[in-house]
Amino acid sequence: MPKKQKAEKSNKKRTGKKMKLRKFYILGFLIITTEFVFAQINFTTSVSKSKLGVNQRFRIEFSVNKQGADNFQAPSFSNFKVVGGPSSSVNQSWINGKASYSQSYIYILQPKKIGAFTIAPAKIEYDGKLIASNSVKINVVKAVEVPKDPNNPLYVAQQNIHLVAEVSNQKPFLGEGIYVVYKLYVSQNISVKNWRITEAPQYNGFWNQDINVKNINIKNGTYNGENYRYIILKKAVLIPQRAGKLKIEPMKMDFSVGVPTGRGDFFGNMITNNINYDTQSAVKYINVKALPKKGKPINFSGAVGEFQLNVTTDKNVLKANEAAQIKVEVTGRGNLKLFDIPKITTPKQLEIFTPEHKEKVNTSLIGLRGSISDIYTVVPQFKGKYKIPAVTFSYFDIKDKQYKTLKSNDIIVEVTEGKEIPSITDTIKNNKKRVVENNSFRFVTLNTEFETNKKDDFLYSTKFYWLLLLPFLAIPIGMFIGKKRAERAKDVFGNKIRKADRLAKKYLSEAKKQLGKKEAFYIALEKALHNFLKAKLLVETSDISIEKITELLQNKNVDKAIIDEFIEVLKDCDFARFTPTSNVMMENEFEKAKNVITKLDKHL
């Protein structure tokens, strides 16, 4: 082979190797570049519309292009209501040797008010770092009219779903009960599921109480002359607390609505388009009429309705220190929980305790019905007959639209045994006797004699020197007393014991005087225990139940053992009055009461 051909063949081989190396370098460069490009994470926020009406919705989507990104954190949608989502979707493909990946987090939002708002970035974690998306601006304008398109699911839902608030009386008197019922009307053409109340109605200016709707039953009815199905969602009784124009705020709800598309599937079943839809009831205005001033009684306390007054006693004849109960009760229909019932007055010889208040009131769509009462415990101190004057009660009758006043009968209480009431003559005699014993009046001498008053000089006398030295003696004595007081003040535990002991003696002093007199002793002991609680808990406890006393002490974190000990002494007082007892037993009860008061005072 000629040298020239060999040289050409060798050159071709070298050229082929160079071309292969060049292709390898290019391929390697492309691979490295592709990996670098795909290594960049891209996390974005996009919206379906940036300008919309306050009654419209939009879609917001957060997308990330890297697999392995997790711990997604949505921004705060404070100016928007989430009506759909979050939902997520993943899209992964390989086209012409190129891989692509995308994961999205999707929400459906509706603005709460008009204005320009910025939705902050979402955040996601990738490769140990927190990545933020971009923020977006949304411009919300006034409500826009929904297109009357029968094929638009939103329009169809708007025409076939109605949330209605029905008010029984829009012109009531002040204090007159009315009711409001919330009904959801749905046409036969669409289906509703997953409904929920997103915002409860507000009743500013009304006393209100919800009525429990036990069963949600579907009923047939009409709305605007068309046949609908409806359910009752909520009932409430309202009593206006001020005259004038009051506003009942709307109730708001959202649903999942199935709107028929007019097309059927392979088996002939209707295909529905499921959307999220929200609605609200209309605002209701109530014009409350003030009660007339003409004929308004002086003792009128705000009762409005139809009522009866009953004043009764469980005993008309009793002994001194024996308790009787007087019940003042108002029954009927009206604003029973919103007025004061009349108080009774008794002669000073009858000791009266703070009344126990009771309410038996039922709430229904016709308002409040039942009774409220005050039960007084009265204990006479002396023998005799006593009159408890009649009480009056005034109310505004809704039916007759005028004020009415009810009056009870006088109650006569006869005390057959006990001490006599001291007469005025006895009181005067006792006063005269004390005047003589106190030697307030002395014999006045009529004849006088003049005598010279001679006294020794005070200066340089013994008395003078003692008074001169007294300030110097008082200083060390004062320092000694102050030191002792300081030492005693530091003795916190000892001071608590001494204080509690004084308190127990204070309340039990009357009971100690009655030792040996069974009935008087136990009455005084029981009264001492009640007065102690009355002072320490700042409540009227003379006629409350043992259960109520237990509850009050538990709320003060008193040990259960001490509470049980206190209740046991109370029960012993009540039981021992009607059973045989001895002086030793009374002394034991006195010591038990003293100890339990001391323990309670430490805790309280």
Q: What is the CATH number of the domain that holds 588?
A: 1.20.120
Per-residue confidence band for 496, with pLDDT thresholds at 50, 70 and 90:
low
CA 61 to chain CA centroid, Å, is 41
Q: φ and ψ at 93, to 5 degrees? A: -145, 160
Distance CA 277, CA 300 (A): 51
Q: Which residues contact 84 (CB under 8 A, 6 or more apart)?
A: 57, 107, 108, 276
354 has a pLDDT exceeding 90: no
Percent over 70 (pLDDT), the chain: 76
Higher pLDDT, 392 or 506: 392
On whether residue 73 sits in a domain, the answer given is: yes
Amino acid identity at 95 = I
Q: Which of 106, 121, 113 is nearest to 48 (CA)?
A: 106
Same domain, 498 and 523: yes
Percent over 90 (pLDDT), the chain: 22
Same domain, 234 and 174: yes
For residue 260, give Cα distances in angstroms to 270, 282, 318, 494: 7, 27, 81, 85
On whether residue 77 sits in a domain, the answer given is: yes
State the DSSP H helix or E strand holding residue 218, giving kind and residue range, or none if neither: none
DSSP-assigned letter for residue 152: -
432 has a pLDDT exceeding 60: no
Residue 212 falls in which region: left (phi positive, over 0), alpha (psi -120 to 50) or beta: beta
Same domain, 194 and 112: no
Higher pLDDT, 43 or 574: 43
On whether residue 527 sits in a domain, the answer given is: yes
Q: 36 has which bridge partners?
A: none
CA contacts within 13 A on the Cβ side of 385:
3
Distance CA 388, CA 398 (A): 31
Same domain, 595 and 553: yes
Q: Which residues contact 568 (CB under 8 A, 6 or more apart)?
A: 592
Same domain, 240 and 274: yes
Same domain, 330 and 390: yes
- Contact assessment for residue 79 and residue 120, using Cβ atoms and an 8 Å cutoff: no
Same domain, 135 and 56: yes
Distance CA 548, CA 535 (A): 16
pLDDT tens-place string over residues 273-313:
777 888 889 899 999 999 999 889 998 999 999 999 999 99
pLDDT tens-place string over residues 90-127:
777 776 667 778 888 888 888 888 999 999 999 888 88
pLDDT tens-place string over residues 240-258:
999 999 999 999 888 888 8
Q: Of 110, 141, 172, which closes a domain? A: 141
SS in 3 state form for 227-257? EEEEEEEEEEEEEECCCEEEEECCCEEEEEE
Angle at 56 between CA 53 and CA 60, to 5 degrees: 110
- Contact assessment for residue 600 and residue 536, using Cβ atoms and an 8 Å cutoff: yes
Same domain, 551 and 594: yes
For 502-521, b/e burial (b = at least 16 CB within 10 A) is ebbeebbebbeebbeebbbb
Same domain, 276 and 161: yes
On whether residue 586 sits in a domain, the answer given is: yes
pLDDT recorded at residue 403: 94
Query: In the chain, how many domains are there?
Result: 4
On whether residue 6 sits in a domain, the answer given is: no
pLDDT recorded at residue 279: 87
Q: Of 255, 288, 321, which closes a domain? A: 288
On whether residue 85 sits in a domain, the answer given is: yes
| Residue ranges making up the domain that contains 324 | 304-415
pLDDT tens-place string over residues 153-162:
777 888 888 9
On whether residue 33 sits in a domain, the answer given is: no
331 has a pLDDT exceeding 90: yes
Per-residue confidence band for 441, with pLDDT thresholds at 50, 70 and 90:
very low
Per-residue confidence band for 438, with pLDDT thresholds at 50, 70 and 90:
very low
Rounded to the nearest integer, the mean pLDDT of the chain is 78
Same domain, 118 and 183: no
Q: How many CB atoms lie within 10 A of CB 242?
A: 11
- Of the ranges 53-57, 373-377, 434-438, 530-534, which one carries the lowest mean pLDDT score? 434-438
On whether residue 429 sits in a domain, the answer given is: no
Distance CA 262, CA 271 (A): 7
Distance CA 374, CA 354 (A): 9
- Contact assessment for residue 112 and residue 55, using Cβ atoms and an 8 Å cutoff: no
- Of the ranges 166-180, 377-391, 504-518, 588-602, which one carries the lowest mean pLDDT score? 504-518
Model-level pTM?
0.51
Same domain, 395 and 317: yes
pLDDT recorded at residue 227: 87
Same domain, 532 and 584: yes
State the DSSP H helix or E strand holding residue 35, giving kind and residue range, or none if neither: helix 3-39
pLDDT tens-place string over residues 337-353:
888 899 998 888 888 88
pLDDT recorded at residue 35: 45
CATH code where residue 404 lies: 2.60.40.740
Q: Of 141, 164, 197, which closes a domain? A: 141
Within 23-177, strands assigned E span: 43-47, 51-53, 58-64, 70-73, 80-95, 98-111, 115-119, 123-126, 129-132, 136-141, 161-167
Q: Which of 379, 381, 377, 378 is nearest to 543 (CA)?
A: 377
pLDDT recorded at residue 177: 92
Distance CA 296, CA 404 (A): 9
